[in-house]
């Protein structure tokens, strides 16, 4: 399946690209956002991060065909600040984070992300790490499984699914995606199985987040991204499920508000405390109907943007 960069034009438009600016794509993937950013730079530079070596190699040629003003860094985006310092970069003019799993990752059965294709239970973004979904499913306690399913998948039947996993793995180790799908189905009532949507979707999301520590990394990278921004610099984040969106929305709100002094204090408007940041998107930007028609995986995407205030 062809890979689509979700909310591509909307994201780059919101970044207000300066031709001589320094930009970061914290989630290179197949290079869609990076390519468009790079095409708008003259003397500026783009730094791209990704853990997926296959994605890096596939994107490198695409970027080289546009310009040489880029650097690819094989590292988690939460290491952004430290990695950029190695290149003498302390501040940047814009950051984009596309938090979705890329279509090619979903479409490769051996990566283990898809509940629609049979493959080994892997789900690692960084294939050099040891922790896999198979380890979590087969070795984590019932209590840990319930926590993961409920917290990261918002799965109403977390306890029942965890019990089903516990029961089945005692007979035989669960090693493939289809085996896990069947175990999940066994735990769900018939009325749920008849509902629209795949019954394993939320559970697979939960295990993927747990394997890759996605929410922990997201919280850290949002904090670091805000610290990195120059004045008038912007950070654009695309989320794909409510947990991510809620976290980004909350952190943007906290960064853009300050505690106001008592109204009884005789302060002029100029003396009132001001937040360092301003939320650009009061409501998230959603994909157009045209994009939704072309790419069904865009349907849950939300784009939020924040800017460090200038002088």
pLDDT string in tens for the chain (311-residue length): 445 689 999 999 999 999 999 999 999 988 999 999 999 999 999 999 998 888 899 999 999 999 999 999 999 898 999 999 999 999 999 999 998 776 566 667 888 888 999 999 999 988 889 999 999 999 999 999 999 999 999 999 999 999 999 999 999 999 999 999 999 999 999 999 999 889 999 999 999 999 998 898 899 999 999 999 999 999 999 999 899 999 999 999 999 987 655 555 565 555 555 789 999 999 999 999 999 998 877 889 999 999 999 86
Q: Domains in the chain, start-ordered, CATH in brackets? A: 8-98+214-308 (3.40.50.150), 109-212 (1.10.150.170)
Q: Which residues contact 24 (CB under 8 A, 6 or more apart)?
A: 46, 47, 48, 49, 80, 84, 92, 94, 95, 96, 225, 228
Neighbours of 246 (CB within 10 A): 11
Widest pairwise Cα distance in the chain:
73
3-state secondary structure 207-234: HHHHHHCHHHHHHHHHHHHHHHEEEEEE
pLDDT at position 297, please? 76
The Cα-based distances of 209 to 131, 136, 277 in angstroms read 12, 11, 29
Q: How far is CA 105 from the centre of its chain?
A: 14
Q: What's the pLDDT score for residue 180?
A: 98
- Residues forming beta bridges with residue 236, ordered by sequence position: 96, 305
How many CA atoms within 13 Å lie on the side-chain side of 43?
1
Q: What is the pLDDT of residue 186?
A: 97
Distance from C-alpha of 78 to C-alpha of 307, rounded to nearest angstrom: 19
pLDDT of the residue at 1: 42
Strands (E), 14-102: 22-25, 45-50, 70-74, 92-98
The pLDDT value recorded for residue 51 is: 84
Token pair listed for 251 = 């952190």
Burial 124-162 (b: 16+ CB within 10 A, else e): bbeeeeeebbbebbbebeeeebbbbbbebbebebbbbbb
Helix (H) or strand (E) holding 18: none
Q: What is the pLDDT of residue 310?
A: 86
First-to-final CA distance of the chain? 46
Q: What is the pLDDT of residue 127?
A: 83
Backbone angles phi, psi at 46, to 5 degrees: -120, 130
């Amino acid at each position: 399946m062809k890979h689509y960069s979700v909310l591509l034009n909307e994201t780059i438009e919101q970044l207000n690209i300066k031709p001589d600016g320094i930009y970061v794509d914290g989630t290179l993937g197949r290079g869609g956002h990076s390519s468009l950013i790079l095409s708008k730079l003259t003397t500026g530079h783009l730094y791209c991060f990704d853990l997926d070596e296959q994605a890096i190699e596939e994107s490198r040629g695409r970027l080289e065909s546009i310009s040489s003003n880029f650097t690819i860094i094989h590292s988690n985006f939460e290491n952004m600040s430290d990695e950029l310092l190695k290149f003498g970069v302390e501040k940047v003019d814009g950051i984009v984070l596309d938090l979705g799993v890329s279509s090619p990752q979903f479409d490769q059965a051996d990566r283990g992300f898809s509940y629609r294709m049979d493959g080994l239970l892997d789900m690692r973004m960084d294939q050099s790490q040891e922790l896999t979904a198979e380890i979590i499913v087969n070795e984590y306690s019932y209590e840990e499984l319930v926590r993961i399913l409920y917290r990261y998948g918002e799965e109403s039947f977390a306890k029942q699914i965890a019990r089903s996993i516990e029961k089945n793995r005692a007979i035989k180790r669960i090693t493939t995606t289809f085996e896990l799908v069947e175990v999940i189905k066994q735990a769900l009532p018939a009325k749920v199985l008849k509902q629209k949507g795949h019954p394993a979707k939320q559970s697979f999301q939960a295990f993927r987040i747990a394997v890759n520590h996605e929410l922990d990394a997201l919280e850290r990278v949002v904090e670091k991204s805000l610290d990195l921004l120059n004045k008038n610099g912007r950070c654009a984040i695309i989320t794909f499920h409510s947990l991510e969106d809620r976290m980004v929305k909350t952190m943007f709100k906290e960064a853009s508000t300050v505690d106001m002094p008592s109204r009884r204090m005789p302060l002029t408007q100029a003396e009132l405390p001001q937040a360092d940041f301003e939320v650009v998107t009061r409501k998230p930007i959603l994909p157009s109907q045209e994009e939704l028609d072309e790419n069904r995986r865009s349907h849950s995407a939300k784009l939020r943007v924040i800017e460090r205030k200038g002088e």
